[in-house]
Structure 1
Amino acid sequence: MPESSSSSASNAVPTLPAALKEVETQRAAIKDYPGKAPALMRALQALGDLQRDAGSIQEAEACYREALDVAARLQVPADAVADVRTNLATLLDFNGREEESLPIYEEAITNHEALGGENEEVGAQLRNNVAMTYKGMGKFALAEQHYLRSLETLENRRGRKSESVACVYNNLGSLYYAAGFPDQAKEMFEDALKIRVEVLGDRHRDVAQSLCNLATACHELKDNVAAQANFEKSLAILEAQLPAEAASYENVGLDYISMLEILGEDSKAAAFKKRLEKALAGR
């Protein structure tokens, strides 16, 4: 599934009272010494991280926004700004404010890509987050743009044979499928599957996911022989890993049964349903 990214201060203060005290100390310091702004920004980020982890979302948001306000008024390192924007964007995104997160994500991506080096990969991962939101909004063209930019960056930096690249191919396949282009979806799922087999081996749970996705695309394209074969390969991988993969095995199994019933193969669907129930009962 889509990857996501967030950053946190490397020297986060371990307790909330200490973090609050540090913020107050640094707020006082910049009144006389504006050059202390980076320390205040780091303190605000550390406090925001603690509040986020404690579930105090509004308080965390306020800290991140104050940190960005400090950055707008005073001189702070560019990488610190990128990290805080990333934290604010992901905070909003993961708490039901996806659309509101988009412009902040876009700024964070610009910041990371301008820094170059490993930050380019962070930007590529953030593009995945943005693409997921655009897909959910039905803005498929914008989602595609971000996935393709992410793919280009990751392939340039990591090479084609990497799980992060396979993840983007998988996400592109899901996008094309949702947009009504099963041919393109199938191509992307096949690319993701090939990479995952090479990188992870042919018995990995992510390989099973790719096989299931490919089966769905094949079914949409009326290639039901291939669809059944891919479903069965996926299920064999997951069944061998019960009980750890019980949820995935059940979900894929129910999709397989649904397809068989649509195809009128009721006896085969009933037989597999019994097998599914027996396997899950023994988990």
Structure 2
Amino acid sequence: MSASLSSFSNLLDNHAAKLLSEGRLEEALNAATSALSGLREAVEDDPAEAPRLFAGLQVLADIQREMGDVSGSEASYGEALEISGRATIPPVEVARVRTQLATLLDFSQREAEAIPLYEQAISDYEALTPPSEETAAQLRNNLAMIYKGLGKFALAEQHYLRSLETLEAKRGRETEEVASVYNNLGSLYYTAGFPDQAKQMFTEALEIRTQLLGGDHPDVAQSHCNLATANHELGDNAASIQNFEHSLRILEHHLHDEVVSYEAVSLDYIALLENQGEDKKAAAARKRMEKMLATVA
């Protein structure tokens, strides 16, 4: 392949990336496909062109992903990773492609296939100079969610705690990312049958979210709801009712955006009241829920 044609393919690849950033997906796909045709020819003539083909496949896979073409995106990321095994590719770019493929499979309900990709991507980012510890911590959070779903609670806890340690060290305690990991840890402990530890984690998340977001935010409502479930499991139904009511007051202020959460929390609250024999209060809560839901029907 001539140098001029190789350069043209590179220009097409850059153009495809620009179109992708602008949301012009069909045009981006056409440009990336054209670029790859030239890049494949270039690699046949000169294997040293492999890094350009890697980059072109990365762009194509990103476009396919945005267009909802999961199988196409998976194939393109996979081919890029195969190239990285026989060509010198910047480690950070390999880590990025491996992460993209892991999340693609994860969000496609193919969690078991995503696990080794997440684990390798974490190692990749931690091996960079300097290490990309925050990115690795975020991937540990994703991986922990998978392990939790598979019932591998000890592994999930291990990754959540490593993620929390890194994020607190790098960003400080009062960040939304740290609050999210505390919340996820609480959910893990609750699912694993440790409501005391769950309550501690949910309380940490609530304190951080309240400080960061104020008392009238949907994430704060979520934390109150989570605390309600933990308190109920611990037999402290008075505290549970209080948390449910606090959560519902917040969600009512954001009803148009949080209608599904509002209904779910309301039904849990009503069920608790009925379980406690507070039938009149439960009936009043149901009536209020129906009235509020009618305003957004």
TM-score normalised according to structure 2 size: 0.89
2-side partners of 1:10 and 1:19: how far apart? Answer: 8
What is the letter of the counterpart of residue 102 of structure 2? A
Provide Cα deviations, 1:40-76, integer angstroms capped at 9, x if missing partner: 1111011111112222211111111110011000101
Specify whether residues 10 and 114 from structure 1 end up closer, same or farther in structure 2 by C-alpha distance, changes over 3 A only: farther
Unpaired runs of 5+ residues, structure 1, are: 1-8
| Aligned mate of 1:154, from 159, 167, 171 | 167
Partner of 2:258: 245
SS across alignment from 2:85: helix
Partner of 1:89: 102
1:10 Cα deviation after fit: 11
Which has the bigger relative contact order, CA under 8 A and spacing at least 6?
1
Partner of 1:30: 43
RMSD of aligned C-alpha atoms? 1.6
Partner of 1:263: 276
Kept after mapping to 2: 8 A contact 1:49/1:60: yes
Kept after mapping to 2: 8 A contact 1:13/1:46: no
Larger Rg: 2
SS across alignment from 1:111: helix
Kept after mapping to 1: 8 A contact 2:15/2:31: no
Partner of 2:290: 277
| Aligned mate of 2:80, from 62, 67, 84 | 67
2-side partners of 1:10 and 1:225: how far apart? Answer: 61
Partner of 1:3: none
Match status 1:197 vs 2:210: yes
2-side partners of 1:67 and 1:36: how far apart? Answer: 13
| Aligned mate of 2:185, from 172, 192, 196 | 172
1:116 Cα deviation after fit: 5.7
Match status 1:47 vs 2:60: yes
What is the letter of the counterpart of residue 12 of structure 1? A
SS across alignment from 2:132: helix
Match status 1:210 vs 2:215: no
1:35 Cα deviation after fit: 3.0
1-side partners of 2:93 and 2:44: how far apart? Answer: 20
1:242 Cα deviation after fit: 2.2
What is the letter of the counterpart of residue 206 of structure 1? D
| Aligned mate of 1:230, from 243, 251, 267 | 243
Q: When the two structures are aligned, how many residues end up with a matched partner?
A: 275
Unpaired runs of 5+ residues, structure 2, are: 1-13, 20-27
SS across alignment from 1:12: helix
Kept after mapping to 2: 8 A contact 1:131/1:142: yes
